[in-house]
């Protein structure tokens, strides 16, 4: 290293350079459907402004003998490497350590969380088995040649509940995913009006879920709004266009805008979540835009405040495993793995879990989903993913119901869920540090 590394915290503005020719782990560096956290080439990024295209972890950097972590969720810092020379600049305090980087990551986490006001688990259902309608919606869309959202009807939801009962799966949470509201116009995304042509009464849906012994959950995208929504047209100056390069997001660029985190958004979210709290929903699955991390954290903070003000026992779940975002959630999900022959899904699944576990050890983890997010998954890969997930710390989520694969796979899932359900309620602990060389030596095994 060309410069000595200061012990502990440094105050910004700060700049230092290091000889760093080997691999670098960047938990914040992520790409949808890929495992790109470990970088062997050059890079240049702001760890708090990088788009969270998939599962973007904490604003830290790990290398052989070096750990660097931001101590405040502010933009303007850079992690940059050129020709084996690593330069770190920061506008705010930084935590820097020599030695084993995973040991330093544990120290960093303790320091950051010492200033967190997390209330801890406020209801026992937060770590319960979950059933989410999303991948079944996608499977029905493939079969019917329409969209996943169009599949979400009263009949679809009742069939979903009936199939869970027929397999005698444990009681837990049932989350109604994207599609329960109207389309892109007024009343749609951002306004959150129920599409009564497909779902006659959402309060009745919540009641039926509770009658089956489950906690009702509902999908939201706080901060996102259709261009023609009442929310956006009433204050267009408070919205900004899509900035992520993710292909899925580009397809929505002409139809959606995102709200800046501020008083207007907070007031809107308070009114919105109150409507669905009154209808009986106690779990909220939040799916933000996949844009710059600091904007997403601001939106999450407001959504969390709005939901917890209604009832502190409600569950808030999101997909941003960042130490500065995790305090605004009870549950963080290990997001979006596509399990098919064209994807290196085993490494991606393990990497998403590893990055999430290390980046937010103070939250529960939602293992999203058994069999992944691709409805074309085959029975063998579905079962393999289930088996791999048994070694992951988190609660299982079933979204593609296993009865489609036959009685044997259904029995495997039931055994796994019952086994989990009988042991849940334990206290989760932070991961044990591992050596850098062990991590590099067998990364897929070490991820686990």
Domain of 231, CATH number, reads: 3.20.20.70
In a domain, 184, yes or no: yes
Identify each DSSP E strand in 349-394 by its residue range. Answer: 364-367
Q: What is the pLDDT of residue 4?
A: 35
In a domain, 32, yes or no: yes
Do 332 and 235 belong together in one domain? Answer: yes
Do 99 and 195 belong together in one domain? Answer: no
Do 62 and 136 belong together in one domain? Answer: no
Domain total of the chain: 2
- Which residues are CB-neighbours of 26 under 8 A, at least 6 positions away? 37, 38, 39, 43, 45, 47, 61, 79
In a domain, 438, yes or no: no
In a domain, 446, yes or no: no
Do 131 and 101 belong together in one domain? Answer: no
* pTM assigned to the model: 0.94
Do 50 and 183 belong together in one domain? Answer: no
Calpha distance 207→216 (Å, rounded): 8
Do 38 and 98 belong together in one domain? Answer: yes
Residue 157, class by beta-carbon neighbours within 10 Å (0-12 exposed, 13-18 middle, 19+ buried)? buried
pLDDT tens digits along 27-66: 999 988 889 999 999 999 999 998 888 899 999 999 999 9
The CA dihedral of 433, 434, 436, 442, to the nearest 10 degrees, is -140
Do 87 and 206 belong together in one domain? Answer: no
Do 26 and 172 belong together in one domain? Answer: no
Confidence tier at 417 by pLDDT (50, 70, 90): very high
Q: State which residues form the domain around 24.
A: 8-113
Do 87 and 137 belong together in one domain? Answer: no
Do 198 and 130 belong together in one domain? Answer: yes
Do 268 and 350 belong together in one domain? Answer: yes
Average the pLDDT over 111-137 and give the result.
90
What SS3 string covers 100-125? CHHHHHHHHHHHHHCCCCCCCCCCHH
Average the pLDDT over 96-104 and give the result.
96
């Amino acid at each position: 290293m060309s410069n000595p590394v200061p012990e502990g915290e440094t105050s910004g503005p700060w700049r230092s350079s290091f000889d760093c020719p080997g691999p670098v782990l960047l938990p914040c560096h992520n790409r949808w459907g890929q495992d790109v956290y470990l970088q062997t080439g050059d890079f240049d990024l702001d760890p708090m402004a990088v788009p969270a295209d998939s599962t973007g972890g904490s604003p830290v950097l790990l290398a052989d003998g070096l750990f660097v972590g931001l101590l405040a969720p502010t933009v303007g810092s850079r992690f940059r490497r050129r020709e084996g020379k690593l330069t770190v600049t920061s506008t705010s305090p930084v935590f820097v350590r020599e030695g084993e980087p995973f040991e330093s990551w544990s120290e960093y986490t303790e320091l950051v969380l010492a200033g967190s006001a997390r209330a801890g688990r406020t209801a026992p259902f937060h770590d319960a088995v979950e059933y989410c309608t999303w991948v079944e919606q996608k499977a029905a869309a493939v079969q019917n040649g329409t969209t996943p959202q169009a599949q979400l009807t009263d009949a679809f939801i009742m069939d979903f509940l009936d199939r869970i009962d027929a397999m005698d799966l444990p009681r837990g949470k049932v989350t109604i995913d994207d599609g329960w509201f109207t389309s892109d116009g007024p009343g749609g995304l951002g306004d959150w009006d129920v599409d009564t042509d497909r779902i006659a009464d959402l309060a009745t849906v919540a009641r039926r879920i509770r009658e089956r012994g489950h906690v009702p959950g509902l999908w939201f995208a706080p901060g996102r709004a259709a261009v023609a929504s009442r929310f956006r047209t009433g204050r267009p100056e408070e919205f900004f266009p899509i900035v992520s390069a993710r292909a899925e997001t580009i397809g929505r660029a002409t139809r959606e805008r995102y709200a800046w985190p501020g008083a207007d958004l907070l007031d809107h979210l308070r009114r919105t979540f109150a409507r669905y709290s009154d209808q009986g929903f106690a779990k909220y699955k939040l799916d933000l835009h996949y844009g710059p991390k600091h904007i997403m954290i601001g939106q999450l903070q407001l959504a969390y405040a709005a939901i917890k003000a209604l009832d502190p026992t409600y569950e808030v779940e999101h997909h941003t495993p960042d130490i500065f975002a995790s305090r605004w959630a009870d549950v963080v999900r290990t997001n979006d793995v596509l399990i098919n022959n064209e994807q290196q899904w085993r490494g991606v699944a393990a990497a998403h879990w590893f990055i999430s576990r290390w980046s937010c050890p103070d939250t529960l983890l939602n293992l999203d989903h058994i069999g992944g997010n691709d409805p074309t998954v085959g029975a063998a890969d579905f079962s393999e993913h289930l088996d791999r997930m048994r070694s992951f710390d988190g609660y299982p989520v079933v979204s593609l119901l296993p009865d489609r694969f036959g009685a044997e796979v259904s029995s495997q899932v039931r055994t796994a869920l019952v086994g989990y359900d009988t042991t849940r309620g334990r206290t989760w602990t932070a991961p044990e540090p591992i050596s850098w060389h062990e991590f590099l030596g067998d990364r897929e095994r070490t991820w686990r």
